Amino acid sequence: MTIHIGAEPGEIAETVLMPGDPYRAKWAAETFLSDVRQVNAVRGMLGFTGTWNGTPVTFQGSGMGMPSLSIYANELIRDYGAKTLVRIGSCGAMQERIALRDVILAMTATSVSTPSRGIFREVNYAPCADWSLLEAAVAAARAKGTTLHVGGIYSSDVFYDERPDLTEQMTRHGILGVEMEAAELYTVAARHGVRALAVLTVSDHLMTGAALPSSERETSFAEMVEIALTAAVQ
């Protein structure tokens, strides 16, 4: 057990999928896994372990933002031996060619700052996805016929952004979408020598103002989870 995860030794799989919302972790585990059991409920951040095609998989909520994600990623890796961490979540599109429900695979993750920034000091570290996971996710998405975009995303420190100038520059430089966790996930994974990837469903669009209604989000996210599982369980 750790400060934030109440699982016993052996209850967390080496492959962990990390939605921000703990109830999305519950939904995904109950929808996709067999022999599901709850392994964490500390602070309401639910975690579940089961099997997918015979392979143990854990779904563990990570909370919102990089500081929260960093806590769970560190403990999953250091204390439970997680080897593959895949963020599954929503994002806002930042390019007009991207539509709602499209899937974005984050090859790199730009940020203004992360919880790890103090380690690097003057260095602008470039967080990136694990190639084997990225390659496998591309293949899985193409096999499903998913509309897919691969490239850089922006991990923001804030949800209610008041920097339209920054959004303009991100869009100008080809950033595909914005979310709040991937840059720290990639950094923590690199530090500990494990694999990480962010698989994201476009739930809203910064350029057009379009957004998925809440009633349609779970159905749209199922495709993303299937891609993530296929890529992670190799």
> How confident is the model over 211-229, as pLDDT tens digits?
998 777 777 799 999 999 9
Active-site residue flag, 204? yes
| pLDDT in the model for residue 7 | 97
- Across all residues in the chain, what is the average pLDDT? 96
Mean pLDDT of 35-39: 98
Q: What is the DSSP string of 109-157?
A: EEES--TTHHHHTT-----B--HHHHHHHHHHHHHHT--EEEEEEEE-S
Report d(CA 201, CA 153) in Å as an integer: 12
Annotated binding-site ranges for a purine D-ribonucleoside = 4, 179-181, 203-204
For the 15-232 domain, the top CATH level (class) is alpha beta
Structure tokens at 202: 């476009």
Annotated binding-site ranges for phosphate = 20, 24, 43, 87-90
Residues 53-95 have pLDDT tens digits of 999 999 999 999 999 999 999 999 999 999 999 999 999 999 9
Annotated binding-site ranges = 4, 20, 24, 43, 87-90, 179-181, 203-204
Q: Which of 79, 157, 161, 204 is catalytic?
A: 204
Q: How do the domains of the chain map onto residue ranges?
A: 15-232
Cα separation values, 200 from 57, 59, 83, 120, 124, Å? 19, 15, 20, 27, 24
Residue with tokens 């994201």: 200
Task: Please work out, in degrees rounded to the nearest 5, the angle formed at the alpha carbon of residue 197 by the alpha carbons of 44 and 218.
Answer: 50
Q: pTM of the prediction?
A: 0.96
Mean pLDDT of 103-112: 97
pLDDT at 165 over 90: yes
Report d(CA 33, CA 30) in Å as an integer: 6
Report d(CA 35, CA 51) in Å as an integer: 7
